[in-house]
Amino acid sequence: MLRNLFQYYLRQPETLPTLLSAELERRYPGEKVCTYALCDLDSAQHFSEQWVIIAGKLLVTATPLTGRDTWDFRSFALTEIDSFELFDGLSSSSLQIVGEKKRLLASLHFTRRQSRALSNVQFVAEQKKKQLKDSSVSRDLADGLDPDDEYREAMLKAIEDAKSMLSMPKMGVMLRLLSYLRPHKIPVICAFGTAALLTLVLLLPPYLMRVLVDDIIRPAEQGKVDNPYRMLWLVIGALALVYAIGEFMGFIRMRVMSVVGEKICMRLREDLYRHMQKLSLSFFSSRPTGTLIARVSSDTDRLWDFITFGVIDIGMAILQIIGVAVALFFQDVSLALLVLIPLPIMAMMFYFHSIRIQVHFLRMWRKWSAMTAVLSDVIPGIRVVKAFAQEEKEVERFSEKNRAVEAEAQILHRNWTRFWPTVVMLMHTCTLIVWIVGAPRVVRYITTNGEEGMPLGVFLAFTGYMWMFWAPVQQLGMMSRVINRVTTSASRVFEVLDTTPSIVSKENAVPPPPFAGDVRFENVSFSYDGARNVLKGVNFEVKAGEMIGLVGPSGSGKTTLVNLLCRFYDVKGGRILLDGVDVRDMELSGLRRQIGVVLQEPYLFHGSIAENIAYGSHGISPRDIIEAARAANAHEFICGFRDGYETIVGERGQTLSGGERQRISIARAILHNPRILVLDEATSSVDTETERKIQEALRRLVAGRTTFAIAHRLSTLSAAKRLFVLEDGKLVEQGTHAELLEKPDGVYAKLHRTQVELQANVVV
Amino acid sequence: MSTKTDAASLDFELFRREDGRLVMRRDENGKLTEVPLRIACCFPWSLREEFISLRDDKGRELALVEKLSQLKPDTRQLVEEELNSAFFVPRIRELLSIERQAELFLWRVETDSGPRSFLTGHDEHPRTLPNGRILIKDVSNDLYLIENPKELSAKSWKLLWAYLD
């Protein structure tokens, strides 16, 4: 299986070539292969093959010589290597192996997919070098690992990750959509039953026409019947009855299916939204909001259309084709054969047409979502647009996408409108053939006085049936367009449903008991993209109730650190312990319920201030809300509003000032009463009075909780019990504000100096 | 740390050290310093020959070359070499097949660097760059470039077309 994956996806050897390892053993006896990697680029940037191997005390590179059974070997003692220099390029990297006196030993080039295996090689080489130079270092490192497994795992990681993002759908999209009908068995069967009956009943009118002509009118013409009117009224009555039954059946089917369709779509929308809520942050950060909204709204709507009308229409059309075909044969076998001849041709035309048009639908969908993406991108940022007077530019941006939608739709329409007349022409040709063959036979029937040929009634009934035959064929053809549309929409919907959240509670994980609040990071490292490490081996321990200020230049990993604490992402290396338990072993919502977050840009939902304060807390009385607001210094200004706590704040709380919004979010956190608090302090300046009020509110909030504050304000920094200084993903300094200031060359001291200078400028 | 781009800051010499590193030698207050360089391109997709940032290993900018043509020919050649290796992206010449597997796509292509197959994620579509070139990113973050989509063969274009935005 693994062997296949390698060949299938990567087209590169799945282990060190056997010839190569044999040759290695012969040349360097006793040197055991520890790890290896493939460098798939040569210095001229052509894809090629060069292996780099750590064997015993050596680093060996091997390049195949033409002829393929010999190798060009170069080897260096690990102790001879001074350093490894990695250069990450756009799509390729190079690793320079540098010896003593800056002598270049080897220069390896490779693409990103090899990076992981090469970083293994570099890691093992460095560890072994240390062991060789200093025998006190433990020797077991990397010796117990199977080099083949390591290499395989490193190579397949990216592929497996991409695959694990999807729980592979087992059924075709259509079948899967139909499976949603299952809970509604009885109404669906009922609708199908009436539809089938309707189809059968509608087969009668042409037959009645035949009876009318051949058994009543013609005999009456020839004076063969005494009282034609009795029969006549009977036939007319029968026709009326057929139509009445038909109408009633049609009504039942529509009513039942529209009800079922709506229920199914409601369920789909809900499933979809529920599933989205479960997905991890990384899912949302990689997709425009607009396309996600489109999937929940317009895509499910299209599915309704299909379930309500499409499914049964298709069933009915097929049934009608069969029924009419039987009726045609019943009327006249030779003519019926003539009508059926073009059917396979048509089926093929429809098939190829639907394949061609499917691609257009896919493109169309993508253009559509690009257009909605513009909307969901720009409308929340409308203030920026107006401030920069970019209305015209934005209109242009939208209309560009809009035009693209139109252009794509036109191509689509051109395609099917061109297809349609061809089909209709084929039908007309058939009718012509029937006339050419049938009409002379009717004439002969009359001239021979009924001895040979075809009675007029049969001919009329036949042509009637023939039109009934084309109607469902035509409908099926139209349906292929609907089906294409629907499969596109359905697969978009299922795509979301099939994405598995990357952060989930372990099976049978239990909700953690109330935390004391001890936090411990053990050698934590993390990377968002798998390439650049944002945190590199962070270690610290925080006691319950301690307040920690996180400082460091932007991009140093402060926000990442708290993201990991909340388990918005999982660590890539090391672990995070809360009260001695790994966060990954805790039930997720239980964990997050005990961690409170006050964000830099507080997000207020559409609703009243009271609702916003109570967000995330249960069983809250109005008094609780007021007390929380008081503690957050928000009570005063809230009472100043005409609607008090019932003031509705806009989608983003735009009717409030920044300081007010911040205090509401502090009140929210106070009410939430978390054991561990994350404070992402705003850099934006507010006036001194507001600042004082916010500080006061924060002090009350922080009291008694383990707090991590991403701090910028000096007042917060000096309030913190300890400061952690991060730089380039590493914890470089820690201590109190005063302690850190005493180190003149310290990172914090430097940061602080610039901060003070800046503030001095602002104050003046 | 000077980030000014006046003529004075381009007053340096580049050479390749024994270990393969590109090194900047310049006069700093009368003292001759040698710093190994890393190169960054500010607009790697549209202005490959302009705004080249020369930085030390810690990512501090030592000089910003506004146009490669401002450099002395031999210096320029060294910078170009470095750029070529750091900003190398395989260029797709021909598409052989695009196989859909659930929502992942397996591409088999012929590039200037040889044949290649790669897998793209379910939400990763080829991106059209401002100047009409097309960029594809695979699951390992490797990039592939189609320099001139119009020059692709009809067969390649037919394959690619359905996935373009």
A residues 137..176 contacting B (CB < 8 A): 158-159, 161-163, 165-166, 168-169
- Amino acid identity of residue A125, one-letter, is A
Arithmetic mean of pLDDT, B51-76 = 88
pLDDT greater than 90 at residue A618:
no
Q: What is the pLDDT of residue B62?
A: 87
CB A464 within 8 A of CB A205: yes
Q: What is the pLDDT of residue A347?
A: 79
| A342 phi and psi angles, rounded to 5 deg | -70, -10
Q: Do B122 and A166 touch (CB under 8 A)?
A: yes
The closest CB to that of A103, out of B19, B88, B139, belongs to B19
Order of all β-strands in the sheet with A676-680: A595-598, A676-680, A706-710, A547-551, A722-727, A730-735
- H helices of B21-109, in order, are 73-86
CA angle A95, A100, A106 (to 5 degrees): 30
Q: Do A91 and B123 touch (CB under 8 A)?
A: no
Q: Residues near A432 by Cβ (< 8 Å), separated by ≥ 6?
A: none
Question: Which chain A residues are closer than 8 Å to B143 by Cβ?
Answer: 90-91
Q: What is the pLDDT of residue A403?
A: 95
Q: What is the pLDDT of residue A169?
A: 55
pLDDT greater than 90 at residue B116:
yes
CB A492 within 8 A of CB A362: no
Task: Determine contact: A46 vs chain B, CB below 8 A.
Answer: yes
pLDDT greater than 90 at residue A479:
no
- Amino acid identity of residue A494, one-letter, is F
For residue A711, what are the CA distances in angstroms to A83, A559, A665?
Answer: 37, 11, 17
Q: Residues near A600 by Cβ (< 8 Å), separated by ≥ 6?
A: A680, A681, A682, A683, A710
Q: What is the pLDDT of residue A50?
A: 92
Q: Do A11 and B116 touch (CB under 8 A)?
A: yes
pLDDT greater than 60 at residue A369:
yes
- A356-370, A638-652, B62-76: which has the highest mean pLDDT? B62-76
Q: Do A363 and B21 touch (CB under 8 A)?
A: no
pLDDT greater than 90 at residue B110:
yes
Cα B48 from chain centre: 7
Q: Do B117 and A9 touch (CB under 8 A)?
A: yes
Question: Which chain A residues are closer than 8 Å to B86 by Cβ?
Answer: 87, 89-90
Arithmetic mean of pLDDT, B6-29 = 78
How far apart CA A268 and CA A494 sit, in angstroms, is 10
Q: Do B142 and A498 touch (CB under 8 A)?
A: no
Q: What is the pLDDT of residue A682?
A: 61
Least confident window among A53-67, A134-148, A168-182, A660-674: A134-148
- Amino acid identity of residue A711, one-letter, is A
How far apart CA A125 and CA A139 sit, in angstroms, is 13
Tell me which residues of chain B have a C-beta less than 8 Å from any C-beta of chain A.
17-21, 38, 44, 84-90, 102-104, 106, 111, 113-119, 121-123, 125, 138-144, 161-162, 164-165
Task: Determine contact: A48 vs chain B, CB below 8 A.
Answer: yes
Q: What is the pLDDT of residue B9?
A: 61
Cα A634 from chain centre: 39
A residues 483..512 contacting B (CB < 8 A): 491, 495, 498
Question: Which chain B residues are closer than 8 Å to A359 by Cβ?
Answer: 161-162
B21 in helix, strand or coil? Answer: coil
Arithmetic mean of pLDDT, A534-541 = 88
pLDDT greater than 60 at residue A150:
yes
Q: What is the pLDDT of residue A652?
A: 54
| A449 phi and psi angles, rounded to 5 deg | 60, 40
Percent with pLDDT over 70 in chain A: 93
Arithmetic mean of pLDDT, A436-446 = 90
Question: Which chain A residues are closer than 8 Å to B88 by Cβ?
Answer: 41, 45, 89-92
Best of B100, B106, B113 to mutate (most A CBs within 10 Å, chain A): B113
Q: What is the pLDDT of residue A530?
A: 62
Question: Which chain B residues are closer than 8 Å to A48 by Cβ?
Answer: 114
Question: Which chain A residues are closer than 8 Å to B140 by Cβ?
Answer: 111-113, 115, 158
pLDDT, tens digit (0-9, with 9 covering 90-100), for A660-709: 888 888 898 888 888 898 888 765 556 777 778 888 888 888 888 899 98
- CB-count burial class (<10 Å; 0-12, 13-18, 19+) for A526: buried
How far apart CA A350 and CA A690 sit, in angstroms, is 70
Q: Do B123 and A10 touch (CB under 8 A)?
A: no
Q: Do B86 and A90 touch (CB under 8 A)?
A: yes
Q: Do B122 and A287 touch (CB under 8 A)?
A: no
CB B113 within 8 A of CB A46: yes
Distance from CA of A46 to the nearest CA of B (A): 4
The closest CB to that of B143, out of A85, A91, A363, belongs to A91
Task: Determine contact: A85 vs chain B, CB below 8 A.
Answer: yes
Pick from A463, A472, A473: nearest CA to A328: A463
Best of A90, A365, A500 to mutate (most B CBs within 10 Å, chain B): A90
Q: Residues near A554 by Cβ (< 8 Å), separated by ≥ 6?
A: none
How far apart CA A354 and CA A148 sit, in angstroms, is 47
pLDDT, tens digit (0-9, with 9 covering 90-100), for A422-433: 888 888 888 888
Q: What is the pLDDT of residue A764?
A: 40
How far apart CA B21 and CA B82 sit, in angstroms, is 9
pTM: 0.68
DSSP letter for A403, please.
H
Pick from A36, A71, A75: nearest CA to A59: A75
Best of B103, B106, B128 to mutate (most A CBs within 10 Å, chain A): B103
Q: How confident is the model at residue B1 (pLDDT cuts 50, 70, 90)?
A: very low
Cα A739 from chain centre: 48
How far apart CA B109 and CA B107 sit, in angstroms, is 6
CA angle A308, A309, A313 (to 5 degrees): 135
Distance from CA of B85 to the nearest CA of A (A): 7
How far apart CA B99 and CA A200 sit, in angstroms, is 45
- Amino acid identity of residue B164, one-letter, is L
- Amino acid identity of residue A151, one-letter, is Y
Q: Which secondary structure element, helix H or strand E, spans residue A360, and what is its range?
A: helix A342-378
Residue A611 has, within 13 A of its CA and on its CB side, a CA count of 12
The closest CB to that of B18, out of A103, A166, A287, belongs to A103
- Any bridge partners for residue A499, and if so which? A166
Q: Which residue has better confidence, A110 or A502?
A: A110
For residue A79, what are the CA distances in angstroms to A31, A119, A127, A558, A674?
Answer: 15, 18, 11, 37, 53
- The mean predicted confidence, pLDDT, of chain A is 84
Rounded-to-10 torsion of CA B27, B29, B35, B39: -80
Pick from A357, A413, A381, A358: nearest CA to A290: A381
How far apart CA A697 and CA A685 sit, in angstroms, is 16
- Amino acid identity of residue B90, one-letter, is P
The residue in chain A having the minimum alpha-carbon distance to the alpha carbon of residue B58 is: A728
CA torsion through residues A530, A535, A536, A540, sign: negative
Distance from CA of A188 to the nearest CA of B (A): 30
The closest CB to that of A102, out of B17, B123, B143, belongs to B17
Helices A228-278, A311-331: inter-axial angle, 10-degree rounding = 150
Question: Which chain A residues are closer than 8 Å to B115 by Cβ?
Answer: 11, 47
Q: Do B139 and A89 touch (CB under 8 A)?
A: no
**So what's the ipTM on this one?**
0.89
Q: Do B165 and A94 touch (CB under 8 A)?
A: no
Least confident window among A77-86, A273-282, A593-602: A593-602
Residue where the block lists tokens 């009282």: A227
Q: Which residue has better confidence, A108 or A69?
A: A108
Pick from A668, A621, A673, A624: nearest CA to A649: A668
